[in-house]
Amino acid sequence: MTTYTHSTIVAGIPWKNPVATASGTFLAEASTQYYDVSELGAVTTKGVSPIPWEGNPSPRTAESPSGTVNSVGLQNPGIDHYLANDLPQLKQLGATVITNVAGHTPDDYIQVVKKLDNSPADMLEINVSCPNVNAGGLSIGTDPTTLYNLITDLRKTNQQTNSSSNSPPTVTDITTIAKAATDAGADALSLINTLIGMRINTTTGQPILANTTGGLSGPAILPIGLANVWKVRTALPHTPIIGIGGIHNAHTALEYLYAGANAIEIGATALLNPQAPHTIAQELETLLDQRPALAAKLAAGETWR
């Protein structure tokens, strides 16, 4: 067991270190086979909906240069299953848990968030940027007014849990979206989600994904995530930001922290190496040892920029 000395604070919640898993790339019973989840800063669970969702048809995944395009469509067993299984298991294992919330309609989100009131979840992450569902998700996250109204309603529903809004990168101006979320009461921002992408099979001439398009993630999107975090940090100097997108080693995690993130999440890279979040947390510990000024800022809940 590694000892972590470089903690961080995200919207008031203490994290053992700045490394979390990203939603949809961590599943309690799968990922806990490979490392001790209590050694991460936090784990973010798969988007959870009011009732079980079946997701999109398969194939749901396609490779791309330094990336992966996925269209799972938020398949999940629903909030009741989550509250009875994943959440208690993760809390018992000592994890700090970010519950990612999904919905087709504002009411879906409200139902889930209501059930999470007084749950042991440490933070909520409101997924308003999933490119793989027809209703909800991205259509909410790209419209500032809709997003403002949603977050306002969610705040009323659940005063107890700190929430982060997971904003999409594919908007004309991310800062407008970010401001709408924080004005409505989001305690933090999770930036970024996947970008809409697709691949085509050149033998058949048809899309590889059954759903035609999916979300691009992995190292390919690293520069885009960094630019979004940088821009939002410039516009919102005090809002806690969780940096996401293309992190594949401790150095790329560090880039996000220098861009102004308080903490980071690791997505696709955990799919290619189950232990990656744990390994990166360990390696980041060493890199932060060498950067006491940055480490001190993070430990105080502040950011580099």
Partner 1 sequence: MPREWTTATRNPHATPARQPGRRTVPVIRVQALADTIIELTLQDAHTARTARPGQFVMLYTHDQSRLMPRPFGVAGTNGDTFTIIFAIVGEGTRQFSTLREGDTIDMLGPLGGQAFNLDQPGDYLLVGGGLGIPPLLYAAQRLAAKPDTRTTAILGYRDTRYADTRMQTHTPHTHSITNAQGDVLTLLNTLEPNPNPDQPLTILTCGPKPMMQAVHQWAQTHNANCQTCMEQRMGCGYGACVACTIPTIHGNTKTCTEGPVFPSTTIIW
Binding to ligand FMN (CB under 6 A) within 134-163 occurs at none
Position 47 contacts ligand FMN (CB under 6 A): yes
Q: Is 215 annotated as a binding residue?
A: no
C-alpha 56/C-alpha 112 separation (Å) is 21
Least distance from partner 1 to the Cβ atom of residue 294, Å: 21
Token pair belonging to 2: 């590694």
The amino acid sitting at 63 is E
**Cα-based distances in Å from 93 to 5, 6, 72, 275:** 20, 21, 27, 16
Least distance from its own copies to the Cβ atom of residue 20, Å: 20
Position 296 contacts its own copies (CB under 8 A): no
Beta-carbon count within 10 A of 117 CB:
12
Q: Exposed, middle or buried by CB within 10 Å (0-12, 13-18, 19+), for 21?
A: buried
C-alpha 130/C-alpha 145 separation (Å) is 18
Position 22 contacts ligand FMN (CB under 6 A): yes
SS3 content of the chain, % helix, strand, coil (to 5): 35, 20, 45
Q: Is 71 annotated as a binding residue?
A: yes
Q: Which range in 168-176, 213-221, 232-240, 284-292 contacts ligand FMN by CB under 6 A?
A: 213-221
C-alpha 183/C-alpha 172 separation (Å) is 19
C-alpha 201/C-alpha 61 separation (Å) is 13
Coil/strand/helix, residue 2: coil
Rank residues 223 and 237 by Cβ distance to ligand FMN and give the closer one.
223
Binding to ligand FMN (CB under 6 A) within 74-103 occurs at 74, 100
Token pair belonging to 33: 């086979």
Coil/strand/helix, residue 214: strand
Give the contact letters, 244-263, x = binds to ligand FMN (CB under 6 A), - = no: xxxx----------------
C-alpha 229/C-alpha 9 separation (Å) is 17
Rank residues 85 and 234 by Cβ distance to its own copies and give the closer one.
234
The single residue of 13, 19, 98, 130 carrying the catalytic annotation is: 130
Position 221 contacts its own copies (CB under 8 A): yes
Least distance from partner 1 to the Cβ atom of residue 183, Å: 34
Active site residue 130: yes
Residue of the chain from 2, 5, 85, 134 that contacts partner 1 (CB under 8 A) = 85
Buried b (16+ CB within 10 A) or exposed e, 45-55: bbbbbbeebeb
Position 207 contacts its own copies (CB under 8 A): yes
Q: In the complex, which residues of this chain contact its own copies (CB under 8 A)?
A: 62, 64-67, 69, 142, 169-173, 195-200, 202, 205-207, 212-213, 216, 218-224, 226-227, 230-231, 246, 248, 251, 254-255, 258-259, 287, 291, 294, 304
Interface ranges with partner 1 (CB under 8 A):
24-27, 29-35, 46, 51-52, 54-55, 57-63, 65-68, 70, 72, 75-78, 81, 84-86, 88-89, 92-93, 208, 218-219, 268, 270-275
